[in-house]
Amino acid sequence: MDAGNLKYQFARLSIAEKLIAINVAVFILNGLLTFLLQLSPNILLRWFELPKDFFDFLVQPWSIITYSFFHAGLGHIFWNMVMLYFASRIFLNLFGPRRFINVYFLGVILGGLLFLLSYNIFPAFMGINTSLIGASAGVTAVLIFVCTYIPNQEVRLIFFNVKLWYIGVFFILVDLIQIPTGGNAGGHLSHLGGALLGYIYARQLLKGKDIGEGFSKLLDNLGSMFTKSKKAPMKTVYRKDKSTFKTTVDHDKESRQRKIDAILDKISKSGYESLSKAEKDFLFKAGKE
């Protein structure tokens, strides 16, 4: 398979599938490099993992994001990616990739910050030398988001149906119970940080407020640094026409958004399966834009 075909196949993936592919590629590449070059497993990881010490974090601030692309073992990455795949399928039926990125990476960030705060505030964690890796905070953020946004939607678990809010409560309780009893308190704390972000994001969105807009703008500004800006010729020639066109477009956007809000409100009250085929098709197309 040539590079062009690989690029084409990658472009066809959903945003969640791309994240899964990147995580798997990083896991394989890290394992191969450390084995073939006979390097210590931590020699590469230490530049990307999130340290517990604030001063160490200030030296490598990028680690608040990069820690989420590294995993401790096959079981760790397998279950994270499985959960991400199924949670993202529900999420992307409702919203587009831009909002998915917001929820996922804001969950990663808040999960990392809760880990940092906990290991520098609570006496139980003082003196413990540890660091944080794994996509769990971002995955949990996406999962709890959908569990909060459409709590009464039922999903099939092997032989029976379960409401999403039951699943969300189960995962949060498991993390809370394992903080004092398990050997991965930092990981469970980061899960709770991601869960908190997913819950707050969904609750605010139900009220009509997207708390990820600022993060989207930040990503846009960072992206613009790597692209060449071009001046639009004859900028003021069609000012009047553009104003009229803008008014029409804004009206169309408002009408379209009202229809989306009505459908999402119906999902929240009666579940996704209560939608007609036309409503499902409309929501699916809107989520892809």
DSSP 6-69: HHHHHHTS-HHHHHHHHHHHHHHHHHHHHHHTT--THHHHTTTSEESSHHHHHH-TTHHHHGGG
Which backbone phi and psi does 157 adopt, to 5 degrees?
-115, 95
Separation between Cα atoms, residue 22 and residue 182, nearest integer Å: 29
pTM above 0.85, yes or no: no
Using N-to-C axis directions, what is the helix angle for 277-288 and 239-270, rounded to 10°? 130
In angstroms, what CA-CA distances link 112 with 5, 52, 61, 117? 36, 9, 11, 9
Separation between Cα atoms, residue 135 and residue 70, nearest integer Å: 8
pLDDT of residue 261: 75
pLDDT of residue 249: 55
Residue 155 host element (H or E): strand 154-157
Separation between Cα atoms, residue 254 and residue 187, nearest integer Å: 42
Q: Encoding tokens for residue 22?
A: 């990147």
> How far is CA 248 from its chain centroid?
34
Separation between Cα atoms, residue 80 and residue 24, nearest integer Å: 11
Reported as a single tens digit per residue, the pLDDT across 40-50 is: 877 888 999 99
pLDDT of residue 266: 77
Strands 131-132 and 154-157, bridge-based pairing: unpaired
Reported as a single tens digit per residue, the pLDDT across 203-230 is: 999 999 999 999 999 988 888 887 655 4
**Residue closest to 143 by CA, chosen among 98, 83, 101, 77:** 83
pLDDT of residue 40: 81
pLDDT of residue 115: 96
Q: Which residues of the chain have pLDDT under 50?
A: 230-232, 234, 236-240, 242, 244
**Residue closest to 136 by CA, chosen among 227, 72, 216:** 72
pLDDT of residue 248: 53
